């Protein structure tokens, strides 16, 4: 599914290196978690994969089912099946949430040579999916993320993911700012999308999200590298001892 | 006070090139008064306070600069599906054969060229009158020139609720046409009218619209200035509102080498409401100037100015907007926003927002911004699979939304959005 090889990234405008050789391979249906201290480069990895401006890849590659992602426009990556749930979802005044969702769904269908959804069909699907995420009609009408609470923004990200049905989902700190109930809603939303083929890369600070979304593999990122990889137990180890031991060990 | 020699010469040259206008009686009197006003102020120059951002040279020139007509037949004409009374002017000349019979219950419509031959007419109390009132404190020479030399126009007297809109269609044919039209609309108490205007009109177009909105009357105005790239236009709206009256004016401008749209509105009766709005999109050789002056002269009136511009490839946008609250105009609610979205670094927006308030119980706000498109929002949309161009169009329309929302008729608003979407698709900026 997703294969990242020796990825080196620096800021475009400054001589600041952020990723220093990331290797990662995620198979179909797998759930991988990336944990790591603040500033270790987790969000940068997710942005570089989805094609945000401002970063320069100096070495390495990232492929989705063999297709080189790094040469595509962000919208092409999305159409190829990549999705990023943002750590900080963006507010777009003046664009209704519903218009946004419909434009996105139909743009991807068009890019894949599929027919656009009729207004009626689209509405039916959105309403159904919104309901399970406890997103009410009012939130669908409001401008994208404007005036949404932190939890509402995160649920809105999951709604987009559910509507777009990507094959490779990256979730960047989707748990941050969520209370226990919201965490459960979001996790249920994610788990509902697990179908044995769709893959997930879950970026998080805390083990608690991983109680709900059970990872197959856990990576620890530090200083722009993946410094350790293990099973679900690795997350528990971090939870108990913090990152210090691992970082010391790596040097 | 005598004009400086250069100004005097410029005016003389301009006047000498104007065709003689016929007219006796009331109209002749109004014209000569206008000419006297114009002679006292002269034509505008770059040093005049309200002409610093816009060069009047091509409007001052004795001959209209050449402007090729633009073929806009790839899209339906504006207001196509709307039941309306169409009055067509080709290069400023009324085209009876192309126009509808101007019969409309509760409304009398006459041509200025005909009404002007009579000894007395109701329009005497309006033609040039609001224009003259609007000359202080800011001189508006092109409006006086228009009053003095308009060759035609329509005089509309509304006594009831008009069953359908009156629609003025301006066709541009000749490359050097120089049209001067002057319209007057008088709404009796409680009367209602929607006036639609569309089309580029001429290579150079001067237009004045004077509107008297009596107590409780409502006047809605929607204007689409056509898609010609090379045309030039200087237009004025002078409106005076009685108690509880409503005035709404929206203008869409796409293209045009030079556009100066002035609106001068006086809220003269309590609880009157005036909304003046505009959306302008320009690519390249485009200079668009909205100059607005709203006077609150009575209590508890509301005014809104909403002007949005999208500029690319060196296009220039200007906004000069003023709210004047006179002594005694308590409980005034004034709002003014002017914003530009600059799609590249070559384009520019010049704004001069002004408030002048002589009452103490007043709520007035104004804001002016210019900025680039929100790259973060653009990336967010793209990351959801929306192509960059579509994403950009979506954000541009979102930016223009507040101005378009001023169009009360939802069918027309939808049509305007669709026109803008197509414009953006045609002009889709780089990147
Ligand atoms: N656009 C940027 N401009 C400046 N610094 C950046 C930018 N993006 C990331 N960084 C820096 O790169 C490092 C990694 O950041 P980030 O990827 O957000 O880490 P994480 O998500 O793991 O907390 C930090 O030091 C951060 O300040
Ligand atoms: Mg982060």
Residue pLDDT, tens place only, A16-48? 999 999 999 999 999 999 999 999 999 999 999
For the Cβ of A54 lying below 6 angstroms from any atom of ligand 1, the answer is yes
Residue A251: predicted pLDDT: 59
Nearest 5°: phi and psi at A107? -65, -45
In this prediction the pTM is 0.92
Residue B118 lies in a domain: yes
The rounded Å distance from CA B250 to ligand 1 centre is 46
CB-based contact B240:B130 (threshold 8 Å): yes
Residue B233 belongs to some domain of the structure: yes
Question: Residue B375: its chain A contacts at CB < 8 A?
Answer: 53
pLDDT digits (tens, 9 = 90+) for A167-189: 999 999 998 888 888 899 899 99
Atom 7, ligand 1: which residue's CA is nearest?
A11
Contact criterion met (CB < 8 Å) for A50 and B384: no
pLDDT score for A102: 95
> What residues of chain A lie within 8 A of the CB of B388, using their CB?
73, 75
Cα separations in angstroms, A235 against A34, A178, A185: 9, 19, 22
| SS3 state of residue B244 | coil
Decide if pLDDT at B207 tops 80. yes
Paired residues of B153 in beta bridges? none
* A103–B contact, CB cutoff 8 A: yes
Q: Say how many C-beta atoms besides its own lie within 10 A of residue A241's C-beta.
A: 10
- Omega of the bond leading into B196 within 30 degrees of 0 (cis): no
The DSSP letter of residue B313 is T
| Cα dihedral across residues B55, B56, B59, B60: positive or negative | negative
Better-predicted residue by pLDDT, B2 or B54: B54
pLDDT band with cut points at 50, 70 and 90 for residue B431: very low
Closest residue in A to B391 (Cα–Cα)? A103
Cβ contact (<8 Å) for A79 and B385?
A: yes
Distance CA(B246)–CA(A3), nearest Å, equals 64
Examine the pLDDT at A218 and tell me if it is beyond 90: yes
User: In what side-by-side order are the strands of the sheet with B246-254?
Assistant: B93-94, B85-90, B166-171, B192-198, B218-224, B246-254, B273-283, B302-312, B332-342, B362-371
Asked whether residue B428 is domain-assigned, the answer is no
Per residue in A100-138, pLDDT (tens digit) is 999 999 999 999 899 999 999 999 999 999 998 889 989
Among residues B193, B199, B128, B142, the alpha carbon closest in space to that of B168 is found at B199
Cβ contact B380–A99 (<8 Å) = no
Q: Return all residues near B84 (Cβ < 8 A) that are at least 6 apart.
A: B100, B164, B165, B166, B167, B196
Q: What is the mean pLDDT of residues B93-115?
A: 96
Within-domain flag for B420 = no
- Res B156: pLDDT: 98
Q: Confirm or reject contact between A86 and chain B (CB < 8 A).
A: yes
User: What one-character DSSP code corresponds to residue B212?
Assistant: E
Angle at B201 between CA B200 and CA B207, to 5 degrees: 110
Residue B322 in contact with residue B266, Cβ under 8 Å?
A: no
Query: Shortest CB distance from B384 goes to which of A52, A73, A164?
Result: A164
Average pLDDT, chain B: 96
Ligand nearest to the CA of A225: 1
DSSP, residue by residue, B346-401: T-EEEEEEEEEE--SSEEEEEEEEEE---HHHHHHHHHTT--HHHHHHHHHHHHHH
Question: Is residue A250 scored above 80 in pLDDT?
Answer: no
Q: B344: helix, coil or strand?
A: coil
- Chain A residues near residue B394 by CB distance under 8 angstroms: 95, 99-100, 103
Q: List residues bridging with B220 in a β-sheet.
A: B194, B248
Indicate the residue of A53, A73, A78 with minimum beta-carbon distance to B384: A78
User: Which residue of A53, A84, A95 is in closest CB contact with B398?
Assistant: A95
Q: How far is CA B229 from CA B114, B207, B278, B286, in A?
A: 33, 18, 18, 8
Strand partners, B302: B273, B333
Pick the atom of ligand 1 nearest to A41's CA.
Answer: 17
Q: Do A75 and B399 touch (CB under 8 A)?
A: no
Chain B nearest CA to A28, separation (Å): 21
Residue A160 near chain B (CB below 8 Å): yes
Ligand nearest to the Cα of A172, by number: 2
List the single residue in A52, A104, A143 with the smallest CB-CB distance to B384.
Answer: A104
The C-alpha atoms of residue A50 and residue A175 are separated, in whole angstroms, by 20
Query: Alpha-carbon Rg of chain A, whole angstroms?
Result: 18
Mean pLDDT of the region B297-320: 98
Strands A143-144 and A92-96: antiparallel
Residues of A in contact with B395 (CB under 8 A): 92, 94-95
pLDDT at position A182: 87
Examine residue B164 and state whether it is found in any structural domain, yes or no. yes
pLDDT of residue B429: 52
CB B202 within 8 A of CB B228: no
Residues B139 and B145 sit within 8 Å (Cβ to Cβ): no
CA distance A54 to A245: 33
Distances (CA, A) of B66 to B227, B230, B257: 16, 8, 11
Q: Which ranges of B89-233 does DSSP label H, i.e. alpha helix? A: 112-115, 129-133, 141-149
Q: Would you place residue A8 in the very low, low, confident or very high pLDDT band (cuts 50, 70, 90)? A: very high
Number of folded domains that form chain B: 1
Domain span at residue B318 reads: 5-374
As a whole-number percent, the residues of chain B with pLDDT over 70 amount to: 99
Give me the mean pLDDT over the B234-249 stretch: 98
pLDDT reading at B19 higher than 60:
yes
Spell out the residues 6+ positions from residue B206 whose beta carbon is closer than 8 angstroms to its own: B59, B142, B145, B146, B150, B179, B180, B181, B233, B234, B235
Subunit contact A104:B379, Cβ cutoff 8 A: no
Tens-place pLDDT, residues B313-370: 999 999 999 999 999 999 999 999 999 999 999 999 999 999 999 999 999 999 999 9
Cβ distance A90 to B380 less than 8 Å, yes or no, reads: yes
Residue B283 lies inside a defined structural domain of this protein: yes
- Alpha-carbon distance of B16 to B230, in angstroms, equals 25
Residue B167 lies in a domain: yes
A204-221 mean pLDDT = 91
Exposed e or buried b per residue across B15-28, where buried means at least 16 C-beta atoms within 10 angstroms of its C-beta: beeeeebebeebbe
- Structure confidence at residue B1 (pLDDT): 61
Distance from CA of B381 to the nearest CA of A (A): 8
Ligand 2 centre distance from Cα of residue B279 (Å)? 39
Average pLDDT (A42-71) is 97
**3-state secondary structure at position A33:** strand
Average pLDDT over residues B155-177: 98
Separation between Cα atoms, residue B317 and residue B309, nearest integer Å: 7
CB B265 within 8 A of CB B239: yes
From the CA atom positions of chain B, what is the Rg in Å?
Answer: 21
Q: Which atom of ligand 1 is nearest to the CA of A173?
A: 21
For residue B247, give the 3-state DSSP assignment.
strand
* Mean model confidence pLDDT for chain A: 93
Q: Is A46 in the pocket of ligand 1 (CB under 6 A)?
A: no
CA nearest B54: which of B361, B261, B246? B261
CB B37 within 8 Å of CB B44: no
Number of A/B CB contacts below 8 angstroms equals 78
Residue B386: inside a domain: no
The backbone torsions φ and ψ at residue B366, rounded to the nearest 5 degrees and listed phi first, read -145, 150
Average pLDDT over residues B191-195: 98
Residues with CB under 5 A from ligand 2 (ion): A 42-43, 87
Check pLDDT > 90 for residue B2: no
Residue B418 — φ and ψ, nearest 5°? -65, -40
pLDDT at B430 over 60: no
* Cα end-to-end distance, chain B, whole Å: 55
State the nearest Cα–Cα gap between A222 and chain B, in angstroms: 26
Q: Is the CB of A224 under 6 A from ligand 1?
A: no
**How many angstroms separate the CA atoms of B299 and A245, rounded?**
73
Using alpha carbons only, what angle is made at residue B163 by residues B159 and B166, rounded to the nearest 5 degrees?
80
The answer to whether B296 touches B330, Cβ cutoff 8 Å, is: no
What are the start-end ranges of the H helices in B2-140?
Answer: 5-17, 25-41, 57-60, 112-115, 129-133
Look at residue A248 in the predicted model and tell me its pLDDT: 80
pLDDT tens for B121-148 read 999 999 999 999 999 999 999 999 999 9
- pLDDT (average), residues B163-182: 98
């Amino acid at each position: 599914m997703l294969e990242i090889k020796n990825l080196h990234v620096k800021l475009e405008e400054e001589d600041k290196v952020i990723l220093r050789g990331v290797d990662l391979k995620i198979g179909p249906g797998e759930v991988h978690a990336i944990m790591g201290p603040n500033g270790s480069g987790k969000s940068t990895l997710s942005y570089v994969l989805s094609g945000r401006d401002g970063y320069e890849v100096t070495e390495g590659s990232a492929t989705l089912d063999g297709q080189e992602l790094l040469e595509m426009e962000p919208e092409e990556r999305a159409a190829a099946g990549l999705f990023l749930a943002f750590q900080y979802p963006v507010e777009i005044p003046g664009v209704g949430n519903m218009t946004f969702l419909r434009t996105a769904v139909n743009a991807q269908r068009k890019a894949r040579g599929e027919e656009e959804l009729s207004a009626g069909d689209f509405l039916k699907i959105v309403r159904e999916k919104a309901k399970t995420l406890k997103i009410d009609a009012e939130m669908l009408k409001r401008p994208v993320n404007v005036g949404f609470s932190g939890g509402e923004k995160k649920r809105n990200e999951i709604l987009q993911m559910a509507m777009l049905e990507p094959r490779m989902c990256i979730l960047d700190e989707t748990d941050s700012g969520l209370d226990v109930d919201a965490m459960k809603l979001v996790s249920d939303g994610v788990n509902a999308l697990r179908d044995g083929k769709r893959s997930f890369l879950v970026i998080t600070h805390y083990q608690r999200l991983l109680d709900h979304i059970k990872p197959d593999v856990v990576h620890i990122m530090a200083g722009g590298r993946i410094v350790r990889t293990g099973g679900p137990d690795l997350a528990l180890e971090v939870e108990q001892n913090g990152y210090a031991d691992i970082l010391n060990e790596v040097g | 006070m005598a004009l400086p020699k250069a100004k005097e010469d410029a005016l003389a040259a301009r006047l000498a090139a104007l065709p003689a206008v016929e007219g006796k009686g009331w109209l002749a009197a109004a014209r000569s008064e206008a000419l006297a006003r114009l002679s006292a102020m002269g034509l505008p120059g770059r040093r005049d306070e309200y002409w610093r951002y816009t060069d009047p040279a091509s409007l001052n020139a004795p001959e209209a600069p050449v402007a090729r007509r633009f073929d806009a037949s790839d899209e339906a004409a504006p207001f196509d599906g709307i039941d309306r009374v169409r009055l067509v002017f080709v290069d400023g000349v009324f085209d009876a054969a192309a126009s509808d019979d101007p019969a409309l219950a509760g409304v009398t419509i006459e041509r200025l060229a005909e009404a002007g031959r009579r000894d007395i007419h109701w329009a005497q109390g309006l033609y040039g009158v609001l224009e003259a009132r609007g000359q202080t404190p800011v001189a508006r020479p092109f409006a006086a020139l228009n009053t003095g030399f308009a060759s035609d126009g329509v005089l509309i007297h509304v006594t009831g609720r008009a069953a359908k809109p009156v629609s003025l269609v301006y066709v541009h044919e000749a490359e050097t046409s120089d049209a001067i039209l002057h319209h007057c609309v008088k709404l009796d108490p409680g009367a209602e009218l929607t006036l639609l205007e569309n089309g580029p009109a001429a290579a150079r177009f001067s237009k004045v619209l004077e509107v008297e909105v009596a107590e409780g009357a409502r006047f809605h105005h929607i204007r689409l200035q056509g898609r010609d790239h090379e045309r030039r236009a200087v237009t004025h709206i002078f409106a005076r509102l009685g108690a509880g009256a409503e005035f709404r004016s929206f203008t869409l401008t796409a293209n045009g080498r030079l556009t100066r749209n002035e609106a001068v509105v006086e809220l003269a009766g309590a609880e009157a409401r005036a909304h003046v709005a505009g959306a302008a999109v320009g690519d390249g050789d485009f200079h668009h100037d909205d100059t607005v002056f709203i006077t609150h002269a009575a209590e508890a009136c509301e005014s809104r100015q909403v002007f949005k511009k999208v500029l690319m490839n060196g296009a220039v946008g200007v906004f000069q907007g003023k709210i004047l609250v006179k002594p005694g105009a308590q409980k005034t609610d004034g709002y003014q926003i002017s914003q530009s979205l600059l799609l590249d670094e070559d384009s520019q927006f010049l704004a001069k927002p002004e408030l002048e308030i002589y009452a103490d119980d007043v709520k007035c706000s104004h804001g002016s911004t210019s900025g680039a498109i929100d790259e973060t929002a653009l990336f967010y949309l793209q990351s959801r699979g929306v192509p960059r161009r579509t994403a950009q169009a979506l954000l541009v329309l979102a930016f223009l939304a507040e101005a378009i929302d001023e169009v009360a008729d939802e069918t027309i608003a939808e049509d305007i959005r669709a026109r803008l979407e197509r414009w953006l698709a045609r002009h889709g900026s780089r990147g």
